[in-house]
């Protein structure tokens, strides 16, 4: 299933439940932030090594939270008529210009500090 098909499935899902009334850009952005925090919750207090080696059941839970983030993001993009793939390609090009390899390689500095 591609992005547009997934967005259409999300539209149908919401319509069948009469939820379109709640799916405003503001509400979707709020829900997106909440779900992103739920991803983060699984990593709270873990070491870097532990975060790389999640137990299978925790990994599955994180996967479900990632799906929630992704689905809300797709709904928000749909509501605002933003092509998420085009936006991602544009942002990647902007980041490449901000963080040229010769300055940014191996550094975690912000582009304004390079």
Residues 41-50: pLDDT tens digits? Answer: 999 999 999 9
* Contact of 76 with 32, CB cutoff 8 Å: yes
Q: Kindly state the average pLDDT of the residues 70-84.
A: 98
3-class SS of residue 109: coil
Per-residue pLDDT of 4-40, as tens digits, reads 999 999 999 999 999 999 999 999 999 999 999 999 9
Measured CA to CA, the distance from residue 67 to residue 5 in angstroms comes to 15
Nearest to 36 by CA among 10, 57, 8, 62: 62
Mean pLDDT of the 68-92 span:
98
What pLDDT shows up at residue 9?
98
Which SS3 state, helix, strand or coil, does residue 81 take? coil
DSSP letter string, 37-61? HHHHHTTTT--HHHHHS--HHHHHH
Q: Is the pLDDT of residue 88 over 90?
A: yes
User: How many whole angstroms separate alpha carbon 3 and alpha carbon 35?
Assistant: 20
> Does residue 111 carry a pLDDT above 90?
no
Q: Which domains occur in the chain, in start order?
A: 3-82 (1.10.287.1080), 83-114 (no CATH)
């Amino acid at each position: 299933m591609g992005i547009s098909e997934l967005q259409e499935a999300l539209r149908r899902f919401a319509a069948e439940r009469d939820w379109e009334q709640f799916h405003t850009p503001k509400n979707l952005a709020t829900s997106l932030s909440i779900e992103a925090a739920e991803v983060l919750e699984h990593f709270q207090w873990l070491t870097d090594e532990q975060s790389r080696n999640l137990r299978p059941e925790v990994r599955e839970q994180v996967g479900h939270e990632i799906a929630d983030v992704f689905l809300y993001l797709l709904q928000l993009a749909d509501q605002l008529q933003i092509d998420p793939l085009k936006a991602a390609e544009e942002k990647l090009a902007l980041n490449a210009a901000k963080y040229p390899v010769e300055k940014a390689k191996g550094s975690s500095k912000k582009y304004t500090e390079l």
